Amino acid sequence: MSSKNSDKEKYYARLRHQMVETQIRNRGVTNPVVLKAMRNVPRHLFVPESVRSQAYDDHPLPIGHGQTISQPYMVAFMTEALAPRTGMKVLEIGTGSGYQTAVLLEAGAEVYSIERVQELAEKAKKQLEALGYSRFYIRVGDGTLGWPEAAPFDGIIVTAGAPEIPQPLVNQLADGGRLVIPVGDRMGQDLLLVEKREGQVFIQNLGGCVFVKLIGKHGWSQ
């Protein structure tokens, strides 16, 4: 790495550290695995050049195709809600930039990720490989159907807003597993934590959020 590049990386590492302290830890995310993952993943490499200077700011950013990379706090909050642990098998719906995938990988998960926009999926895969991640699989398709051949999953994270909880995802959740999903209308949703215990489903509302639409058979129509 040239000294100019290494200065830049040090600069971004400082911004990342500040982001974790002020936006994430200060708002109550305490899981050390999540905080470490958020500190390690170079978020600036997952956003388009045109918005790179805002990569560590406290809001979502556009990634093309009318889609966004979520606010850093929301990524941390949702990851913590999944209770990540090494070796956990996670299904992610909405790969987008691949940033959330990288955070899950850093937290020790094996990640199956589905994205409906082919170009985003390809870009995310390339970026994740360039950073040396390997325990992930990306598929282009309708994530509301889940990934039945790879089920059951210890965790499922949906990073787009759904009108209701897609039943295939509940079916593909392992016993003891956790599903985190924004559910509501097109303007705003509640972030739901769905837990499966001894075949029973328990739902907890973690609070309000705003996501782009989950489009698919068990989501919104186009």
Residues binding ligand SAM (CB under 6 A): 67-70, 93-94, 96-97, 99-100, 114-117, 120, 142-144, 159-160, 211-212, 214-216, 219
Minimum distance from residue 85 beta carbon to ligand SAM (Å): 20
Give the Cα separation of 183 and 132 in Å (integer).
Answer: 33
Minimum distance from residue 208 beta carbon to ligand SAM (Å): 16
Minimum distance from residue 100 beta carbon to ligand SAM (Å): 4
Nearer to ligand SAM, 66 or 199 (CB): 66
Q: Does the annotation count 50 as an active-site position?
A: no
Nearer to ligand SAM, 69 or 83 (CB): 69
The CA-based angle 115-58-69, given to 5 degrees, is 10
Give the Cα separation of 174 and 156 in Å (integer).
Answer: 10
Q: What are phi and psi of 221, to 5 degrees?
A: -80, 160
Nearer to ligand SAM, 84 or 198 (CB): 84
Give the Cα separation of 163 and 131 in Å (integer).
Answer: 35
Residue in 70, 113, 134, 221 annotated catalytic: 70
* Per-residue burial over 74-84, b = 16 or more CB atoms within 10 Å of its CB, e = otherwise: bbbbbbbbbbb
205's CB contacts (< 8 A; 6+ apart) are 190, 191, 192, 193
Nearer to ligand SAM, 68 or 172 (CB): 68
On whether the CB atoms of residues 145 and 164 are closer than 8 A, the answer is no
Minimum distance from residue 6 beta carbon to ligand SAM (Å): 26
Catalytic residues: 70
